[in-house]
Amino acid sequence: MRILFGICSWGLGHATRTLPIMRRLVQEGHEITAVSHGNTLNLLRKELGESAGYADLEDYQPPASMNTRALALHTFLSAPQYIFSMRREHRFVEKMVMEGKVDAIFSDNRFGFYSLRVPSFFMTHQLRIMNPLRSKRLESGSERFNKWFLDRFSGVLVPDFKDDGLSGRLAHELAVIDEDRLNYIGVLSDFKYRSLPQDIDVFAAISGFEPSRSAFEKLVLDQLDGFHGKTVVSLGRPAETYFRNGMKVQGLSPRSEQEELLNRAKIVIARSGYSTLMDLYALGKNALLVPTPGQTEQEYLATYHMSLGDYYCVRQRELDIPAQLESVCSRNPPKTQHPTEQAVENAIGVITETAGPG
């Protein structure tokens, strides 16, 4: 089969959670083409190499600020640009289909990346968009908005479990979308559990958009300065490695090195993005999670998992790493190992069963 993958470029999480599916399809002899933009496309090129084809197609511009009011205003004002981007990617897909280059389409959060001519699949964990006012009417409206787009796809895949899921009300207890029509495939992570010595006391992963990323970086570095224990901070940006009072600070590193560091860490400090939660679940790690201020999805996930008792979560302005590590250790994170293999099997089963052989 020839499968066209459209990956949202808002952060690397969309790429990392789709990579296991893409790798398996390549191993099974399918021909795949990855379509994305910026750092996300660069990551896909680096990880898949010559085993896949690539196309650069810009999608939706991320907001410059994650302040709640600014984010709402940005979303409203950017609606025409979003619609233009969706139409552009839809025209791109239709051109590929007309040229006979596609047997199936897989979209990770690119709403215009589909065709009614060939089986098209959409993957998301956010079927209900949380809003800062927690208005039921707005949440219902977001479901209806999603349903209107999702009806164009042959199938919808949710990287979560149907019961006891990680995404909470983002993809469960839906009021408008019929959950029985969704394919809950399980947790997807590009990291695998490895039995390694737990010799890193704290591993901090800095991520996100500016200026929130830099503010989080400064806060974490200042609070871990002089920490008694082995500490590694990954800045999530190109930078030279240096040491600061016994703390190792490094820039971007290969996925294999990140996997090793996470497996060696006793405690992980990170944002509460959904892809991060899936990685932590896959590796069974204790974590101190700090949602990006104003990003309602991360704030909801942090509150939800704090209530479950599996991860310790605090707002950025309340972060006090030395004082909060004991509370982190008292949590009971899932100790699941290798959950991704079954999720990949489930995803490929949905795609190949509906699309058929190429």
Pinpoint the residues of the chain covered by CATH 3.40.50.2000.
2-189+339-355, 200-329
**Torsion sign, CA atoms 176, 178, 179, 182:** negative
pLDDT over 90 (residue 285):
yes
Q: Of 9-13, 204-208, 280-284, which gets the smallest average pLDDT?
A: 9-13
pLDDT number for residue 67: 52
Contact between 81 and 58 under an 8 Å Cβ cutoff? The reply is no
* CA–CA separation, 186 and 105 (whole Å): 20
Contact between 259 and 192 under an 8 Å Cβ cutoff? The reply is yes
Residue 172's pLDDT band, with cuts at 50, 70 and 90, is very high
CATH number of 200-329: 3.40.50.2000
pLDDT over 90 (residue 251):
yes
pLDDT number for residue 335: 74
pLDDT number for residue 97: 96
The mean pLDDT value of the chain amounts to 90
Q: Which CATH number fits domain 2-189+339-355: 3.40.50.720, 3.40.50.300, 3.40.50.1970, 3.40.50.2000?
A: 3.40.50.2000
Residue 132's pLDDT band, with cuts at 50, 70 and 90, is low
Contact between 29 and 1 under an 8 Å Cβ cutoff? The reply is no
Count, residues in the chain: 358
Contact between 188 and 17 under an 8 Å Cβ cutoff? The reply is yes
* CA–CA separation, 25 and 344 (whole Å): 10
Q: What is the pTM of this model?
A: 0.91
* Averaged pLDDT for residues 183-187: 96
Contact between 9 and 37 under an 8 Å Cβ cutoff? The reply is yes
Give the start-end residues of each E strand in the chain: 2-7, 31-36, 53-56, 104-108, 120-123, 155-158, 182-184, 200-205, 231-234, 242-244, 247-250, 265-270, 286-289, 312-313
- Return the structure tokens found at 263: 């497996």
Contact between 17 and 108 under an 8 Å Cβ cutoff? The reply is yes
* Averaged pLDDT for residues 8-27: 94
pLDDT number for residue 11: 81
Q: In 321-334, which positions are buried (b, 16+ CB within 10 angstroms) versus exposed (e)?
A: beebbeebeebebb
pLDDT number for residue 238: 87
Share above pLDDT 90 across residues of the chain, in percent, rounded to a whole number: 74
Residue 299's pLDDT band, with cuts at 50, 70 and 90, is very high
Q: What residues form DSSP beta bridges with 32?
A: 3
Residue 358's pLDDT band, with cuts at 50, 70 and 90, is very low
Question: What single-letter amino acid sits at 147?
Answer: K
pLDDT over 90 (residue 288):
yes
pLDDT over 50 (residue 93):
yes
pLDDT over 90 (residue 223):
yes
